[in-house]
Amino acid sequence: MLLHNSLSPIAFSLGPLSIRWYGLGFAFSFLLGEWLVRKMLEREKLPAMDTGRLVTYALFGTVLGARLVHCLFYDPVYYLVEHPWKILAVWEGGLASHGGVLGLVAAVAIASRAQPPGSLMLLLDRVTIPAALGGAVVRLANFANSEILGIATSGPYGVVFDAVDPIPRHPVQLYEAAAYLLLCAVLAVLYLRTSARLRRGLLTGVFLVGIFSARLLLEPLKVPQAAYETGFWVSVGQSLSIPFLLVGLFMVVRSLLRAPMAQASVTRA
């Protein structure tokens, strides 16, 4: 028995204002992220940081980075040549997770300038847990929006997106959400049960490897996201994922070869 997705992209309406699942997912992810990072810093008895400022920077950096990468790599002719004024029209859809990661790193780097030396990598390592959870929430919102569709399947797990067509498709959004939730659990265990939090860059490296390994494996199950990639042996999403994966592997190896930092010196490293 096939599952039919007839969800509306609008969660609820307040008069003329329509609140969408995607917006709710973004808001929930960043609010939860601020709370989690603050609790982690308190748990480790680290110097207080302005997590409110951090989450504000992270929100704008993530959205801006995701939008720019989408415009530059997924539909450059439309945005750079034909309709450049639509680059900032984020309400029309079109955000790339690769750019979101770049924007998040840039935002954390800017926010950490007002913090003690060594705070950048410390914050990046701790942001990975809510970031993985946020990625899962956003993919669930993509499912509700009937976007980032999977290719057709004859399997019993196929989902018909009623707003699109009657074809059963791989619910690839749910596959990605499950992968990101698993990554979030792995990061949480590493943080809580091991010395990973004292190995600068380890959690960030695991995050990059996990996120972009999932992208590499699941991209073939997606309908091409860029019109010009039809017939390519590797998709745009896979091409963009490879550098992130390599950087993540490098960070994991480097952090494991270094001795873990002492808790008291973590902010001075």
Question: In the chain, where does DSSP find H-type helix?
Answer: 21-43, 51-69, 76, 97-111, 119-144, 172-193, 202-218, 236-257
* Residue 107, pLDDT score: 93
Residue 18 β-bridge partners: 13
Backbone angles phi, psi at 195, to 5 degrees: -90, 15
Global confidence as pTM: 0.90
Q: Are 233 and 85 in contact (CB under 8 A)?
A: no
Closest Cα to residue 219, out of 247, 238, 200?
238
Q: Looking at this protein, which amino acid is placed at residue 62?
A: T
Question: Kind and range of the H or E element at 232?
Answer: none
Residues of the chain with pLDDT under 50: 264-269
Backbone angles phi, psi at 14, to 5 degrees: -120, 90
User: Taking each helix axis from N to C terminus, what angle separates 97-111 and 236-257, rounded to the nearest 10 degrees?
Assistant: 40
Burial of 137 (0-12, 13-18, 19+ CB in 10 A): buried
* Residue 231, pLDDT score: 67
Closest Cα to residue 105, out of 43, 62, 150?
62
Give CA–CA dist 238/196, Å, rounded: 28
* Residue 269, pLDDT score: 38
Q: How far apart are the first and last CA of the chain?
A: 56
Question: Domain locations in the chain?
Answer: 3-259
Question: What one-character DSSP code corresponds to residue 200?
Answer: T
What are the tens digits of pLDDT across the range 125-161? 999 999 999 999 999 999 999 989 999 998 888 999 9
DSSP 145-180: TT-SPBPB--STT-EEETTT-S-EE--HHHHHHHHH
Give CA–CA dist 105/204, Å, rounded: 10
* Residue 266, pLDDT score: 45
